[in-house]
Amino acid sequence: MIVVFSLWLGSGDLHAQGANGGLRGSVQDADFYVPLPGVSVQLEGTGFAATTDENGNFFINNLPPGQYALLATGGGFIRERKTGIVVTPGSVSEASLSLTAEVVELDEFVVSAEELVDTSSSVSSLTLRTEMKSFGDVLGAKFITQSGASDAAKLLAKTTGVNVADGKFVVVRGLNDRYNVVSLNSLRVPSSDPDRRAVALDLFPSAVIEDVRTSKTFVPDLNGESTGGTINIITKSVPEEDFVKFKVGTGYNTQSTGNDKFLSYKGGGTGTFGTADSRRLPDFIKSADLPDLLDQSAGGVGDGLTRTDNPIRLFSQKANDALSPVMGTQEVSAPVDFTLEASMGHRTEFMGAPAGITIAADYSKKYIYNDDDQIGRYFFNGLGLPNAGEVQILRRQSTVRSGQETMRAGLLVSAGIEPEEGSEIVFTYFFNRVAEDRATLQYGLVDDSIINADERDYRESITYTERELKVMQLAGKHEEMINGKDLKVEWGLAYNQSSQLEPDHRFVRGLYNVNNGSYGVFPGVPTVPEFQRIWRELHDQNYSGRFDITTDLFEGADEERIQLKFGGFLDVSNREFRSDSFAYRRGSENISFPNPLKPGFPGATWGDEFLSGNAPVGSDPDGILNNGPLTSVRQFTYLYRSNDAEMYSASQLLAAGYATLDFDLGPSLNISLGGRVETTDIDIQSTPIYLYPEEQLRFALLSEAGRADPVLTQLLNAAFEGNVDAQNDPRITERSRAIIAEQHFLPALSANWEMSDTMRVRSSVARTVARPSFKELAPVIFLNVESGDIFVGNVDLELSTIMNYDARWEWYPTPGSLLGVSFFAKRINKPIELSQESGNVDIIRYVNSVEGSVYGLELELQRDLGFIGEPLRHFSLGANYSYIQSQATRPDFVTTGGTVEDPATVPSLFGKSRRLQGQPDYIVNFNLTYDNPEYPLSYGAFLNITGPQLFAVGGRPEDPDVFQEPFTTLDLGVTYKVAKNARMSLRAQNVLNAQVTRYFNNQGRPIHSTRQTGIGFSLSMTVDW
């Protein structure tokens, strides 16, 4: 790498020698709109020139790709110069000029290029970067094709300073998704994931993307949360010419495809377009007063459940008939992955104005199987012991097998009209649905201090998730000359709907005895019933609008200018969330596995036997209700609510206004000064916290000091027991509501110095904010049945404020090439971080730390290798490296012995400072591509290395932090042009089969979790006309 950098630094005077293109255009009289023949047209600094014909047209062929300035000279006319003209490989660009008659002697003047930039090339993508006020990147259509990325998430993972968490959430410069904003065509998109504030980027398939623009510094016309960056996904819009494109592909995964051990279940799968409707909770169950039904027989009704008119028996029979009887997994053979994409564009006229429409659709299915993942949970103790220190107690350590089928279907329709020159109005409709059906089986060790040493923790789960996003946008831009000054108006309106449905999440948990094959419930943990079904649904509605106005205030000599940009933004979001949790009561705590599934684990599952019918009940109905013995595993079971329905309603209003002054102080220096006033109003109302039957969960919803206050905990218990005064006590009611009402002024100052035509220095200082998500604030309990962890909302969360400092040096020695060095630093007040507390069950919540800081360095290189030798001119190299350091102050922890007003505290066993949660130490991206238009084969290799990072913060003084180890991914691709309009691509993804490992950061470094997804191969054929 050092050798390449050294050679590259000394090659700035060499020109790129890739595939050539052309430039055509026309010249007319600016006053009389007639063609001008005989005008000399030349590209400055080159030997390329032409003369217009009798119709005023010209054509220049065989131009090297790059950015040019065009100079037109004609007798009796003022010379006109047009800059920013981009010529791309294998295509013809267009440029038109108008010459003004020479009446008086005038200075030469410059006309900026119209938006001719086609982001299909690396040259034009870099051109867009140089024009951006903020630091950023532009990923064009060519890079999208070469990388083989199937969606925006995989595409952004190859960008400088960016990595992607959980395959769909962007992390920029080590700052997790809450510090970044995702917009679609410059309009904010709401999240469809209840766990995050950010948008899941896997919702945006590459088939509908024109380019992706990342801004890594805040400017006032961006959302105030743009601390790490803003990701602006630009969809395909009005085409310049008609086109049709079709792609079909198939895929193979080394762990999944054809594997007859793939985990699924009877009735499993995503169907053609999702199966959420068939899994919905029946209304008669949703509205039934199940606890009262149980109370009618719990005391021992004489006839009991043997009576056919018993209300519990009748209800349970109806419920068992309505719900799928399958509670566990089964092994099947996984089919191949496949992908379908189609798009078309048509350009026409509407009412005499240019217009067009683009339609794109995609559909895919993918299968992932994991057969040897690990999960570990521990209880850590140490304070107050005779030998004070950390003690590690194993709670469970399991091997995890899982199979997941993913379906994605999407549609984009974009129609636009250009009513007059410089104006455009575009309507965009985007729909995407992602369905994931996951079956999981876990088996492993448990704490032998509370159970028999021969027993193993055993869990099966079935999880179906369906995410949906609908976007409708109407946007326009208009440019006019008023009193000799440019006026540009841009506006946009959007209505968005998003949802996440998790219907009929089924879960079995218990103990399996390896000696006698018996099955029993887990003692002492009533939080998780042994057989559980959960229905969750989230629905968001979002309305947003923006306007931006740009005008020149002053134009002077020597390219001096003052430009004003101002605008407004309004965003209104509403969310409704509901979770219904049910469990089954069975007749015994120690039932043998069904005989057909013996001789033993791991062949034994509940995929066939549970709820296999409403068999006659024995003669001891009261024994059933009291967990007495049964003689058959197929005995009668009945449904009950494990806790009341969990609900919250949330609203958010974001309103902002901004203004920016741009000062062009001559041809080489620009200073931008502005500010944004942003208002945040968040209101969340949930079900009362005292309704939770488990004391541990009720207490978890109190503040840290409240959990240690015996007076407050007694008051909460009294509210649970029905004490009306306790239920109405403000100290209790305030814990069921979260309110944030704040206003922030966010100033920004930036400078841009063009040291030469190919070199510039940028700097920026700005203030931004970070907001908690609805789920992080909502005082509601969320059970993750696979991990056993419990997520708790925190109404005490506050907004974070951040000061951002950035500096960057850029060098563009040849068209399409770049060398950049960036420095950045951020100081965060009250950063929001993930905390994990060990115990009988791990409690996970987000908390505000005291303060934190992030600083780092970015290096970026992009260019062809022709400077090394002529045979290498069609190879392109891209490399970037980000070094990131962070630090946060670790607060003292509240312990027993104090009150809410005067809490007692103790320090952490792990010191007063640590890293910020979610920041990798380094990120490395490297790509090498070969693309010769005269040769049918093209190649690409893309390497990503993500350094170690803090995954979760220890939530108690004794709890160590959870870290994630570094991992490396490598993707390879080759494309063969089989015909003029057809190409075939073969790609390999995750070639190194990287394992993501997380561990507790204490002396023994016990495993928190591991995951490995296998190597993926795909073959596709693309045809376009």
Q: Are residues 104 and 185 located together in one domain of the fold?
A: no
CATH assignment of the domain containing 136: 2.170.130.10
What pLDDT, on a 0 to 100 scale, did the predictor assign at position 16? 34
What pLDDT, on a 0 to 100 scale, did the predictor assign at position 830? 92
Look at the block and give the residue holding tokens 């019918």.
Answer: 613
Q: Are residues 483 and 581 located together in one domain of the fold?
A: yes
Please report whether residue 102 resides in a domain.
Answer: yes
Question: In the listed set 111, 144, 173, which residue is the last one of a domain according to the structure?
Answer: 111
- Find out whether 170 and 153 touch, Cβ atoms under 8 Å: yes
Number of other CB atoms surrounding residue 13 within 10 Å: 8
Mind giving me the DSSP string for 749-801? EEEEEEEETTEEEEEEEEEEEE---HHHHS--EEE-TTT--EEE--TT---EE
Q: Are residues 102 and 149 located together in one domain of the fold?
A: no
Closest Cα to residue 543, out of 673, 390, 685, 653? 653
Q: Are residues 230 and 370 located together in one domain of the fold?
A: no
Please report whether residue 274 resides in a domain.
Answer: no
Please report whether residue 833 resides in a domain.
Answer: yes
Q: Which helix (H) or strand (E) holds 704?
A: helix 704-707
Please report whether residue 380 resides in a domain.
Answer: yes
| Per-state percent for the chain, helix, strand, coil, to nearest 5 | 10, 55, 35
Look at the block and give the residue holding tokens 């923790």.
Answer: 457
Q: Are residues 173 and 94 located together in one domain of the fold?
A: no
Q: Are residues 872 and 1007 located together in one domain of the fold?
A: yes
- What is the rounded CA–CA span in Å between residue 610 and residue 606? 6
Closest Cα to residue 843, out of 892, 785, 788, 907? 788
- What is the rounded CA–CA span in Å between residue 883 and residue 923? 7
Question: In the listed set 67, 88, 111, which residue is the last one of a domain according to the structure?
Answer: 111
Which tokens belong to 86?
Answer: 């981009």
CATH assignment of the domain containing 691: 2.40.170.20
- Find out whether 276 and 270 touch, Cβ atoms under 8 Å: no
The bridge status of strand 781-783 relative to strand 893-895 is unpaired
Q: Are residues 953 and 824 located together in one domain of the fold?
A: yes
- What is the rounded CA–CA span in Å between residue 610 and residue 767? 57
Which tokens belong to 703?
Answer: 């503040």
Q: Which helix (H) or strand (E) holds 686?
A: strand 669-686
Please report whether residue 332 resides in a domain.
Answer: no
Question: In the listed set 208, 236, 264, which residue is the last one of a domain according to the structure?
Answer: 236
Number of other CB atoms surrounding residue 434 within 10 Å: 24
Q: Are residues 380 and 442 located together in one domain of the fold?
A: yes
* Residues whose CB is less than 8 angstroms from the CB of residue 544 and which lie 6 or more positions away in sequence, other chains included: 187, 188, 492, 493, 494, 496, 569, 570, 571, 572
Q: Are residues 29 and 71 located together in one domain of the fold?
A: yes
DSSP 8-state assignment for residue 521: P
Please report whether residue 293 resides in a domain.
Answer: no
- Residue 138 phi/psi, 5-degree rounding, is -130, 120
Strand ranges across the sheet with 21-29: 57-63, 21-29, 92-99
Task: Write the CA distances from 52 to 62, 283, 704, 969, integer angstroms.
Answer: 18, 76, 78, 53
The bridge status of strand 243-253 relative to strand 893-895 is unpaired
Please report whether residue 636 resides in a domain.
Answer: no
Closest Cα to residue 1011, out of 440, 175, 464, 465? 440
Which tokens belong to 564?
Answer: 């004003």
- What is the rounded CA–CA span in Å between residue 178 and residue 529? 34
Task: Write the CA distances from 423 to 345, 667, 885, integer angstroms.
Answer: 20, 28, 46
Q: Which helix (H) or strand (E) holds 983?
A: strand 982-989
Task: Write the CA distances from 545 to 19, 90, 179, 476, 494, integer angstroms.
Answer: 43, 39, 21, 12, 6
- Residue 553 phi/psi, 5-degree rounding, is -95, -30
Rg (alpha carbons) of the chain, rounded to whole number: 32
Closest Cα to residue 152, out of 211, 197, 105? 211
Q: Are residues 551 and 416 located together in one domain of the fold?
A: yes
Peptide bond into 602 cis (omega under 30): yes
Closest Cα to residue 818, out of 858, 860, 872? 860
Which tokens belong to 545?
Answer: 């609008």
Which residue ranges in the chain fall short of pLDDT 50? 1-18, 103-132, 292-307, 383-389, 524-526, 587-604, 609, 611-636
* Residues whose CB is less than 8 angstroms from the CB of residue 479 and which lie 6 or more positions away in sequence, other chains included: 422, 423, 486, 487, 488, 489
Q: Can you point out the beta strands (E) in 56-133?
A: 57-63, 66-73, 80-87, 92-99, 109-111
Q: Total structural domains in the chain?
A: 3
- Residue 201 phi/psi, 5-degree rounding, is -75, -15
Put residue 824 in one of left, alpha, beta given phi > 0 → left and psi -120 to 50 → alpha. beta
What pLDDT, on a 0 to 100 scale, did the predictor assign at position 402? 93
In terms of residue numbers, what domain contains 71?
Answer: 16-111
Strand ranges across the sheet with 40-43: 49-51, 40-43, 66-73, 80-87, 109-111
DSSP 8-state assignment for residue 128: H
- What angle do helix axes 290-298 and 311-322 make, rounded to 10 degrees? 140
- Find out whether 136 and 213 touch, Cβ atoms under 8 Å: yes
Q: Which helix (H) or strand (E) holds 316?
A: helix 311-322
- Find out whether 200 and 945 touch, Cβ atoms under 8 Å: no
- What is the rounded CA–CA span in Å between residue 941 and residue 926? 8
Q: Is 632 helix (H, G, I), strand (E, B) or coil?
A: coil
Task: Write the CA distances from 979 to 21, 538, 614, 898, 1022, integer angstroms.
Answer: 21, 48, 63, 78, 10
Q: Are residues 918 and 799 located together in one domain of the fold?
A: yes
What pLDDT, on a 0 to 100 scale, did the predictor assign at position 528? 56
Q: Are residues 775 and 842 located together in one domain of the fold?
A: yes
Please report whether residue 997 resides in a domain.
Answer: yes
> Kindly report the CA angle at 762 between 759 and 763, in degrees rounded to 5?
160
